[in-house]
């Protein structure tokens, strides 16, 4: 017979082995969750985003374009809730995540609703364009303004050099252009300015923009006869030699060439005359470069070639040269 004491010892060993055997834990799995954060249906970078499981809270890596990434290590079957903090609010997302077996990557866009007002976007697209030159006095300056909530805005314009107000109380709709006229400017001077959009709760300042006004009045154009030149000899439209005589000598035909420039308004036209009479009026009124004519009419004696440049505001300037022509 088996000793009863032996039986009791065996039973005790079995009970102890069961009691001290470690419990088999639920499988744990690594995973990555990523996507975009939408606040009031607009992709927005929140202040924080965190994922809450029963056993842990995991904070996301956030990016300026509203994208997020969460790396986690969690039990299969666990359900996590997303929370977004934005402008002092803690907002529960509509989405959740359940950790599934053998799934390591989740693409989940987060959507939350906020009763808070979003600040306007930064004013952009200035007129005049940044670093413009030759700007008229009393220019109209403007910016393009938008608001994430499509609110109306009050836009104000400031002189960046002294913070003086240029124009204010300009009411602008979402996605519109706000403008004002900047008076009292001086010629040939640089100015800097910026705009501020206000939606009655938040205001946002634009970048600083600059421009330079035009020189006083309209400068006359510059014009020079390039060909023929003093002292040169030309035969059949070919340059032969220089320092031939004080007055250029032309034998046969010649191409008369002129250079005309205007630094502010631009060149409107160039007129070339010989002895004061337009030769073939249409041909020798030149509206674009190159400013040149082919003088192929018979000539014998002394002539005056005159070139007159007119700018777009009506100012003119001229150059002339006396030549001798044979044939």
pLDDT of residue 56: 94
Average pLDDT over residues 246-260: 94
> For the chain, which residues make up each domain, given as ranges?
27-112, 124-213, 222-326
Average pLDDT over residues 212-224: 86
pLDDT of residue 282: 45
pLDDT of residue 271: 93
Q: Of residues 61 and 187, which shows the higher confidence score? A: 61
The highest-level CATH class for domain 124-213 is: mainly beta
Average pLDDT over residues 189-198: 96
Instruction: Work out whether the CA dihedral 94, 99, 100, 104 comes out positive or negative.
Output: positive
Asked if domains 27-112 and 222-326 share a fold, the reply is yes
Residue by residue, DSSP assigns 255-323 as: EEEEEEE-SSS-EEEEEEEETTEESSTTTTEE-SSSEEEEE-S--EEEEEEEEEEEETTS-EEEEEEEE
pLDDT tens string 33-75: 999 999 988 899 999 999 999 999 999 999 999 999 999 999 9
For the cut 90, the answer to whether the pLDDT of residue 99 exceeds it is: yes
Q: Are 93 and 68 in contact (CB under 8 A)?
A: no
Lowest model confidence (mean pLDDT) among 7-21, 221-235, 263-277: 7-21
Six-digit token string for 25:
């834990």
Residue-wise over 247-265: b if at least 16 C-beta within 10 A, else e? ebbbbbbbebbbbbebebb
pLDDT class of 24 with cuts at 50, 70, 90: very low
**HEC letters along 217-259:** CCCCCEEEEEECCCCCEEECCEEEECCCCCCCEEECCEEEEEE
pLDDT of residue 214: 87
For the cut 70, the answer to whether the pLDDT of residue 151 exceeds it is: yes
Calculate the average pLDDT of the chain.
88
pLDDT class of 313 with cuts at 50, 70, 90: confident
pLDDT of residue 281: 44
For domain 27-112, the CATH architecture is: Sandwich (2.60)
Lowest model confidence (mean pLDDT) among 7-21, 93-107, 248-262, 306-320: 7-21
Instruction: Work out whether the CA dihedral 7, 11, 12, 14 comes out positive or negative.
Output: positive
pLDDT of residue 86: 87
pLDDT class of 15 with cuts at 50, 70, 90: low
pLDDT of residue 18: 47
Lowest model confidence (mean pLDDT) among 12-16, 80-84, 292-296: 12-16
Lowest model confidence (mean pLDDT) among 17-21, 59-63, 209-213: 17-21
The highest-level CATH class for domain 222-326 is: mainly beta
End-to-end CA distance of the chain: 153
């Amino acid at each position: 017979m088996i000793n009863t004491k032996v039986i009791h010892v065996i039973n005790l060993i079995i009970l102890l082995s069961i009691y001290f055997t470690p419990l088999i834990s639920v499988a744990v799995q690594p995973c990555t969750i990523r996507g975009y954060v939408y606040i009031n249906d607009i992709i927005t970078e929140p202040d924080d985003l965190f994922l809450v499981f029963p056993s842990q809270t995991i904070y996301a890596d956030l990016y300026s374009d509203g994208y997020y990434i969460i790396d986690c290590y969690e039990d299969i079957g666990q359900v996590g809730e997303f929370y977004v903090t934005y402008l002092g609010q803690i907002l529960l997302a509509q989405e959740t995540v359940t950790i599934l077996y053998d799934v390591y990557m989740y693409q989940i866009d987060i959507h939350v609703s906020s009763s808070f007002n979003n600040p306007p976007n930064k004013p952009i697209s200035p007129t005049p364009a940044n670093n413009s030159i030759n700007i008229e006095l009393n220019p109209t300056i403007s910016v393009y303004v938008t608001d994430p909530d499509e609110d109306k805005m009050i836009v104000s314009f400031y002189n960046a050099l002294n913070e003086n107000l240029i124009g204010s109380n300009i009411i602008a709709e979402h996605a519109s252009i706000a403008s004002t006229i900047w008076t009292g400017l001086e010629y040939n001077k640089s100015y800097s300015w910026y705009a501020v959009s206000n939606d009655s709760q938040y205001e946002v300042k634009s970048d600083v923009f600059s421009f330079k006004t035009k020189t006083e009045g309209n400068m006359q154009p510059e014009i020079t006869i390039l060909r023929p030149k003093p002292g040169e000899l030309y035969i059949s439209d070919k340059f032969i030699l220089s320092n031939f005589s004080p007055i250029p000598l032309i034998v046969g035909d010649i191409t008369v060439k002129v250079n005309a420039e205007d630094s502010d308004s631009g060149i409107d036209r160039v007129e070339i005359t010989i002895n004061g009479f337009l030769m073939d009026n249409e041909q020798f009124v030149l509206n674009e470069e190159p400013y040149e004519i082919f003088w192929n009419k018979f000539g014998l004696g002394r002539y005056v070639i005159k070139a007159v440049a007119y700018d777009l505001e009506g100012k003119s300037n001229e150059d002339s040269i006396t030549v001798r022509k044979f044939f």
